[in-house]
């Protein structure tokens, strides 16, 4: 019999009850004991659901109070020195302190979990000697068994992945840290073995990245040590997100099972298993249902694949699994009542994926005829989406084919455009500007709600937005900024705003996924061909321009950011979707230009997020990402100034690509990278306009003039003053009005001082 399993289930709950409980606790509105009780209830519900659906091997310890990397660190007593911690089980306020910061100590860094939009807390290996403070996987196992009779599979972040994702130690200390951690893992696993645990899932997604020879040695050491010291335990060495590079090393490890991703690493893993075979003494965890995509699987297609696998691995040694934890998808499509039916029927969120897994396991064991009705349903649904009007916009497909075959270049190179733009705009040395949004006050959010509920007419709402624009145009003039913006008061979210106005997008009511901690996002779904309907930003921008003689910058979200922050159709390539987006946005750029807007910013904060895990795929991704940006912006006149903006992460290793985007001006976040960015953009290499963020907008603190002067001086050591702009790090929509005005005044002051100096 083939068995089914999942690698993890979403924590947030169908109504985001998890988030609500955490936030009540943080707001001091819930006692700690109630926090534990309520989270247990949520956790048990999730286990019960998997049990009722008929999943054979159910994960435990995949649940978290915040993040699984933080759980692993604190379980080993790994707490950064700056937190007061005296050993033993890490108290809840220390746990949340590391995650969110306290009055006295800054939070630990948070970063992207591989190539997903989930962010984990980076463990800092600099405090006291690690010890096993409590065996959380064991507690989770007992709980599932006692309360629900579930024989759970504890999930644990494996030692190599944990070590590689941690920081605070030097490369030369890696083995010393491994020697500290490994005995703790052994102790933990021994306790699980004595409890009678059957399967343990050791997550080693690091194996989907390129390993050094030393890391391969470490991998061997880890799993040989565990096999020698905990021989009775079945370890499922779990990889995901990509094919493994070191297949033959991995299958030689003394573990009972190996989990491979046959969705995101399909080609690589399948070739490896066909060429090198699969050891006869091991179980294969076949990740055939996409744990991070929202689309219903073709059950027939997956069964074909499973059939191929069964020729290599006998049925009793096959587990049908999700490709990764279901953490990355929303909980259930059940309550989506507003989606077009051809879309809804083609979606599978976590719960729907559970039933797909159960069906697949059943069909492999007993034949396809066992599930013939479900197979027919599935084919019908997939066919309906394929044939839908939304996916068959011949006009869009033809136009995109034409323009993506054309050269995507501005008429003149930057040097010439720069002259034309200077002539037209007569900007002073070090022009000042902002990134786009101004504070979204309670009033702004309330107005939007009234309008959305229909209590305000379109005209009423538009008048309100115009008032906000008036206020901020006056303020910007008074502060003395050179290039103004309208403030983005009409937008809740920079992707959603455009998605709602372009065709080919859908929005769920409840399709939330955890992004970090209690923060959830509800990505739009790009399900059809993307098409421009009518101008999206012209009205507000032109209105703002009519209120001032200074230039107002139009403000768009770029194609790659829209792509990377959405769930995307999979019947065509991401590259194709990017070009469709570019085509739609290009029409907006042209509409703005025609309406007299001569500076247009196309934000691309999320370019880096689409970077593939495999290094050898980077160049290709960056090439089409750059092309999509250029497609969006290349048709304007020389004197029209194209801006872009990037933030959130390190860009210094992709400066060639950023330069290739050929934006006349880039504004980029600097303060969180502590000036490292500046060196990447050295004078000799970066030849376009550049505005470095001179202050961090993530804090309400008003930076002093001198601080910004320091930033400016440091930047001008390496950058050409003639191309240098001055701006904050990012949009100001989360800030308050007073601090924003005060900070911008200081920024303008620092600029004046700089103009005198240079
Ligand atoms: N223009 C956007 C804003 O100012 C940019 C946001 C971002 O970079 N994330 O809000
Ligand atoms: Zn930004």
Tens of pLDDT along 22-71?
999 999 999 999 999 999 999 999 999 999 999 999 999 999 999 999 99
Using CA atoms, how far residue 615 sits from 210, 246, 265, 612, in Å, is 8, 15, 14, 7
CB of 436 within 6 A of ligand 1: the answer is yes
Residues 6+ apart with CB under 8 A from 378: 296, 297, 298, 299, 300
Which residue has 């050491």 as its token pair? 221
Contact of 158 with 237, CB cutoff 8 Å:
yes
pLDDT in tens, 431-471: 999 999 999 999 999 999 999 999 999 999 999 999 999 99
State the pLDDT at residue 279.
97
pLDDT tier for residue 671 given thresholds of 50, 70 and 90: low
Using CA atoms, how far residue 695 sits from 158, 293, 728, in Å, is 39, 37, 5
Q: What are phi and psi of 361, to 5 degrees?
A: -60, -40
State the pLDDT at residue 673.
56
Smallest CA-to-CA distance from 469 within 484, 451, 487 is with 487
pLDDT score of 680 more than 80: no
CB of 600 within 6 A of ligand 1: the answer is no
CA angle in degrees (0–180, nearest 5) for 286-289-293? 135
Structure tokens at 513: 């996924």
Contact of 669 with 693, CB cutoff 8 Å:
yes
Residues 6+ apart with CB under 8 A from 691: 433, 665, 666, 667, 668, 724, 725, 726, 727
The mean pLDDT of 72-95, rounded to a whole number, is: 95
pLDDT tier for residue 128 given thresholds of 50, 70 and 90: confident
pLDDT in tens, 692-719: 899 888 888 899 999 999 999 988 988 8
In this prediction, what percent of the chain has a pLDDT beyond 70?
A: 98
Tell which one of 486, 492, 494 to mutate to probe ligand 1, the residue whose CB is within 8 A of the most ligand atoms. 494
Q: Whose CA is nearest to atom 10 of ligand 1?
A: 731
CB of 730 within 6 A of ligand 1: the answer is yes
> CA-CA distance, 527 to 357, in Å (whole number)?
24
518 C-alpha vs ligand 1 centroid, how far in Å? Answer: 22
pTM: 0.95
Per the prediction, the chain carries an average pLDDT of 96
31 is in an annotated binding site: no
pLDDT in tens, 161-187: 999 999 999 999 999 999 999 999 999
Reduce the DSSP state of residue 345 to 3 states and report it: coil
> CA-CA distance, 560 to 657, in Å (whole number)?
13
Q: Which of 110-114, 212-216, 238-242, 330-334 has the lowest mean pLDDT?
A: 110-114
> CA-CA distance, 240 to 206, in Å (whole number)?
8
Q: Which residue has the higher pLDDT, 429 or 698?
A: 429
pLDDT score of 677 more than 70: no
The reply to whether 698 belongs to the active site is: yes
pLDDT in tens, 601-613: 999 999 999 999 9
> CA-CA distance, 150 to 135, in Å (whole number)?
18
Q: How many CB atoms lie within 10 A of CB 569?
A: 25
Reduce the DSSP state of residue 605 to 3 states and report it: coil
State the pLDDT at residue 670.
83
pLDDT score of 87 more than 70: yes
52 C-alpha vs ligand 2 centroid, how far in Å? Answer: 44
Q: How many CB atoms lie within 10 A of CB 509?
A: 11
Indicate which ligand has the atom closest to the C-alpha of 734: 1
673 C-alpha vs ligand 2 centroid, how far in Å? Answer: 13
State the pLDDT at residue 674.
53
Nearest-atom index, ligand 1, CA of 601: 1
pLDDT in tens, 526-580: 999 999 999 999 999 999 999 999 999 999 999 999 999 999 999 999 999 999 9
Q: Whose CA is nearest to atom 6 of ligand 1?
A: 731
Structure tokens at 346: 């083609």
State the pLDDT at residue 679.
67
Nearest-atom index, ligand 1, CA of 647: 8
pLDDT tier for residue 115 given thresholds of 50, 70 and 90: very high
Q: Whose CA is nearest to atom 5 of ligand 1?
A: 731
The mean pLDDT of 333-351, rounded to a whole number, is: 97
pLDDT score of 523 more than 90: yes
pLDDT score of 675 more than 70: no
pLDDT in tens, 612-664: 999 999 999 999 999 999 999 999 999 999 999 998 777 878 889 999 999 99
State the pLDDT at residue 439.
96
pLDDT in tens, 245-283: 999 999 999 999 999 999 999 999 999 999 999 999 999
pLDDT in tens, 489-506: 999 999 999 999 999 999
Nearest-atom index, ligand 1, CA of 557: 1
729 C-alpha vs ligand 1 centroid, how far in Å? Answer: 10
Please report the ipTM that was assigned to this predicted complex.
0.99
The mean pLDDT of 380-394, rounded to a whole number, is: 98
The mean pLDDT of 398-404, rounded to a whole number, is: 97
Nearest-atom index, ligand 1, CA of 436: 4
Q: How many CB atoms lie within 10 A of CB 105?
A: 15
CB of 286 within 6 A of ligand 1: the answer is no
pLDDT score of 591 more than 70: yes
What's the full length of the chain, in residues? 758
pLDDT score of 423 more than 80: yes
Nearest-atom index, ligand 1, CA of 731: 4
Residues 6+ apart with CB under 8 A from 461: 447, 448, 450, 451
606 C-alpha vs ligand 1 centroid, how far in Å? Answer: 11
520 is in an annotated binding site: yes
> CA-CA distance, 617 to 242, in Å (whole number)?
12
Q: Which of 8-12, 245-249, 366-370, 652-656 has the lowest mean pLDDT?
A: 652-656
pLDDT score of 10 more than 90: yes
> CA-CA distance, 644 to 619, in Å (whole number)?
21
Tell which one of 488, 671, 672 to mutate to probe ligand 1, the residue whose CB is within 8 A of the most ligand atoms. 488
699 C-alpha vs ligand 2 centroid, how far in Å? Answer: 14
State the pLDDT at residue 684.
57
Q: Which of 36, 93, 679, 698 is catalytic?
A: 698
pLDDT score of 685 more than 80: no
pLDDT score of 99 more than 60: yes
């Amino acid at each position: 019999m083939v068995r089914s399993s999942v690698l993890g289930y979403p924590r947030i709950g169908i109504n985001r009850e998890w988030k609500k409980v955490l936030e009540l606790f943080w707001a001091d509105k819930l006692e700690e004991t109630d926090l534990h009780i309520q989270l247990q209830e949520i956790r048990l519900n999730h286990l019960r659901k998997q049990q009722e659906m008929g999943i054979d091997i159910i994960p435990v310890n995949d649940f978290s109070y915040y993040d699984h990397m933080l759980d692993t660190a604190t379980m080993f007593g790994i707490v950064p020195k700056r937190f007061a911690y005296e050993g033993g089980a890490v108290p809840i306020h220390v746990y949340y302190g590391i995650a969110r910061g306290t009055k006295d100590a800054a939070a630990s860094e948070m970063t992207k979990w591989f190539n997903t939009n989930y962010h984990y807390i980076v463990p800092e290996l600099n405090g006291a000697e690690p010890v096993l403070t409590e065996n959380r996987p064991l507690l989770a196992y007992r709980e599932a068994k006692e309360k629900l009779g579930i024989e759970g599979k504890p999930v644990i972040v494996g030692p190599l992945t944990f070590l590689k994702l941690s920081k605070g130690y030097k490369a030369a200390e890696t083995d010393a840290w491994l020697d500290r951690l490994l005995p703790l893992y052994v102790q933990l696993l021994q306790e699980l073995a004595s409890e009678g645990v059957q399967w343990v899932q050791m997550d080693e997604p690091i194996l989907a990245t390129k390993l050094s020879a030393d890391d391969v040695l470490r991998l061997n050491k880890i799993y040989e040590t565990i096999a020698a010291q905990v021989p009775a335990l079945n370890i499922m060495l779990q990889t995901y997100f990509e094919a493994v590079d070191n297949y033959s090393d991995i299958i030689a490890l003394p573990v009972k099972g190996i989990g491979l991703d046959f969705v995101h690493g399909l080609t690589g893993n399948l070739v490896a298993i066909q060429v090198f075979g699969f050891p006869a003494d091991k179980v294969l965890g076949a990740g055939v249902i996409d744990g991070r995509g929202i689309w219903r699987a073709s059950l027939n297609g997956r069964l074909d694949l499973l059939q191929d696998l069964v020729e290599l691995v006998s049925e009793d040694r096959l587990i049908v699994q999700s490709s990764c934890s279901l953490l990355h998808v929303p909980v259930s499509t059940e309550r989506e009542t507003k989606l077009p039916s051809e879309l809804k029927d083609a979606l599978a969120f976590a719960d729907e994926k559970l039933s797909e897994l159960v069906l697949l396991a059943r069909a492999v064991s007993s034949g396809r005829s066992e599930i013939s009705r479900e197979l027919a349903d599935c084919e019908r649904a997939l066919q309906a989406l394929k044939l839908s009007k939304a996916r068959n916009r011949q006009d869009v497909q033809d136009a995109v084919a034409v323009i993506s075959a054309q050269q995507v270049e501005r008429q003149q190179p930057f040097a010439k455009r720069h002259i034309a733009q200077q002539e037209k705009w007569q900007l002073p040395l070090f022009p000042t500007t902002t990134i786009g949004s101004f504070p979204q006050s309670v009033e702004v959010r309330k107005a939007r709600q009234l309008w959305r509920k229909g209590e305000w007419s379109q005209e009423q709402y538009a008048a309100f937005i115009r008032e906000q624009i008036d206020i901020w145009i006056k303020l910007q003039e008074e502060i003395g900024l050179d290039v103004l913006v309208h403030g983005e008061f009409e937008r809740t979210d920079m992707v959603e705003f455009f998605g709602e106005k372009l065709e080919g997008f859908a929005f769920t009511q409840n399709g939330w996924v955890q992004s970090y901690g209690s923060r959830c996002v509800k990505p739009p779904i790009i399900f059809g061909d993307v098409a421009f309907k009518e101008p999206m930003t012209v009205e507000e921008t032109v209105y703002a321009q009519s209120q001032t003689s200074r230039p107002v910058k139009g403000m768009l979200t770029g194609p790659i950011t829209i792509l990377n922050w959405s769930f995307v159709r999979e019947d065509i390539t991401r590259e194709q979707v990017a070009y469709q987006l570019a085509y739609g946005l290009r029409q907006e750029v042209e509409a703005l230009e025609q309406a007299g807007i001569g500076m247009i910013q196309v934000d691309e904060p999320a370019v880096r997020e689409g970077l593939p895990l495999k290094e050898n795929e980077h160049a290709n991704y960056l090439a089409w990402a750059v092309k999509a940006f250029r497609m969006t912006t290349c048709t304007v006149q020389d004197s029209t100034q194209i801006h872009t903006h990037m933030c959130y992460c390190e860009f210094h290793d992709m400066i060639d690509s950023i330069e290739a985007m050929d934006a006349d001006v880039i504004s980029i976040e600097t303060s969180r990278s502590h000036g490292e960015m500046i060196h990447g953009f050295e004078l000799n290499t970066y030849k376009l306009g550049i505005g470095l963020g001179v202050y961090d907008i993530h804090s309400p603190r008003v930076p002093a003039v001198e601080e910004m002067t320091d930033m400016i001086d440091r930047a001008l050591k390496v950058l050409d003053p003639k191309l240098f702009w001055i701006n904050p790090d990012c949009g100001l929509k989360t800030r308050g009005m007073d601090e924003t005005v005060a900070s911008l005044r200081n920024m303008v002051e620092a600029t004046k001082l700089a103009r005198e100096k240079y």
